[in-house]
């Protein structure tokens, strides 16, 4: 007896899943297993496998948020709009597909939403898309950015989904959220290396002996704890 196919995730489920994943990242609640040092090229952790069109769409969206250079001559997901690494090289898709986040099963539906909007954009603006590529991937970079601007505009349907997707791209590049920070720095994470993120002290802890404004703004309260917390 054939089992019935599982229902497609609703927009509400997409929103709840992505919101919970972002909250877990911001709270630092990923378990230790989510930050192994082994993985692709010795840098990225093991993650779920997605269909190629879904991966390409997510990569193209991430590259629109934080653009970088192409990985090879035939790279179509990355537009090559900026020098240096972008969100894709920094592990945006690897972050999205971490099993510990639990949103991998939602990503094909999210990519479908992005591609549906890309088809509508192409029809409205008279763009001819290659049928061999997902619609968003087939758009030129200027069209990708224009469409992304529309998707992120307040009041647009499903805007929260696209905002959360953009946050993952930024988090992968700016913070290497899918890796332990010390491990990421040792392995020259593309995003952290590009922005010049400081290395920890020899014991693996970060300390900041210099004031960020170049001068002390206020005296320390006499009851401040040794850990720097207010009394």
Q: What CA–CA distance (Å, rounded) separates 24 from 100?
A: 10
Pick the more confident residue, 74 or 50. 74
Express as a percent the part of the chain with pLDDT over 90. Answer: 47
Pick the more confident residue, 221 or 149. 149
Q: Is the dihedral angle over the CA atoms 36, 40, 44, 46 positive or is it negative?
A: negative
Pick the more confident residue, 92 or 230. 92
Our measurement of the distance from residue 6's CA atom to the centroid of its chain's CA atoms, rounded to an integer in Å, reads: 27
Pick the more confident residue, 131 or 208. 131
Predicted confidence (pLDDT) at residue 1 exceeds the cutoff of 50: no
In whole numbers, what is the pLDDT of the chain averaged over residues?
A: 83
Per-domain boundaries in the chain: 11-27+42-195
How many Cα atoms occupy the beta-carbon half-sphere of 86 within 13 Å? 23
Both tokens assigned to 40: 């692709």
In order of 198, 227, 229, the CA distances from 217 in angstroms are 22, 19, 17
Predicted confidence (pLDDT) at residue 222 exceeds the cutoff of 90: no
Do the beta carbons of residue 165 and residue 110 sit within 8 Å?
yes
Predicted confidence (pLDDT) at residue 37 exceeds the cutoff of 50: no
Do the beta carbons of residue 24 and residue 164 sit within 8 Å?
no
What is the structure's pLDDT at 40? 36
Predicted confidence (pLDDT) at residue 116 exceeds the cutoff of 60: yes
Do the beta carbons of residue 160 and residue 16 sit within 8 Å?
no
Express as a percent the part of the chain with pLDDT over 70. Answer: 79
Which residues touch 101 (CB under 8 Å, ≥6 apart)? 21, 24, 25, 30, 34, 95
What is the structure's pLDDT at 23? 65
Rounded to a whole number of angstroms, the distance between the first and last alpha carbons of the chain is: 67
Mean pLDDT of the 8-34 span: 59
Supply the Cα-derived Rg of the chain in whole angstroms: 20
State pTM to two decimals.
0.76
Mean pLDDT of the 204-213 span: 78
Geometric angle at alpha carbon 51, from 21 and 57, rounded to 5°: 70
Q: What CA–CA distance (Å, rounded) separates 88 from 62?
A: 6
């Amino acid at each position: 007896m054939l089992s019935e196919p599982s229902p497609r995730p609703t927009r509400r489920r997409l929103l709840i899943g992505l919101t919970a994943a972002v909250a877990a990242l911001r709270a630092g609640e990923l378990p230790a297993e989510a930050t192994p040092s082994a993985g692709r090229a010795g840098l990225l952790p093991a993650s779920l496998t997605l269909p190629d069109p879904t991966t390409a769409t997510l990569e193209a969206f991430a590259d629109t948020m934080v653009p970088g250079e192409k990985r090879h001559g035939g790279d179509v997901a990355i537009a090559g709009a900026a020098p240096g690494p972008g969100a894709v090289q920094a592990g945006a898709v690897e972050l999205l597909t971490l099993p510990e986040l639990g949103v991998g099963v939602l990503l094909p539906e999210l990519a479908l939403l992005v591609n549906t909007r890309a088809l509508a954009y192409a029809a409205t603006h008279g763009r001819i898309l290659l049928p061999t590529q997902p619609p968003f991937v087939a758009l030129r970079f200027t069209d990708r950015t224009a469409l992304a601007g529309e998707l992120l505009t307040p009041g647009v349907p499903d805007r929260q989904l696209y905002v959360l997707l953009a946050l993952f791209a930024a988090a992968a590049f700016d913070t290497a959220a899918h890796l332990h920070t010390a491990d990421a720095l040792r392995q020259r994470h593309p995003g952290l290396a590009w922005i010049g993120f400081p290395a920890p002290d020899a014991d693996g802890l970060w300390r900041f002996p210099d004031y960020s404004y170049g001068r002390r703004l206020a005296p320390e309260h006499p009851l401040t704890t040794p850990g720097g917390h207010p009394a």
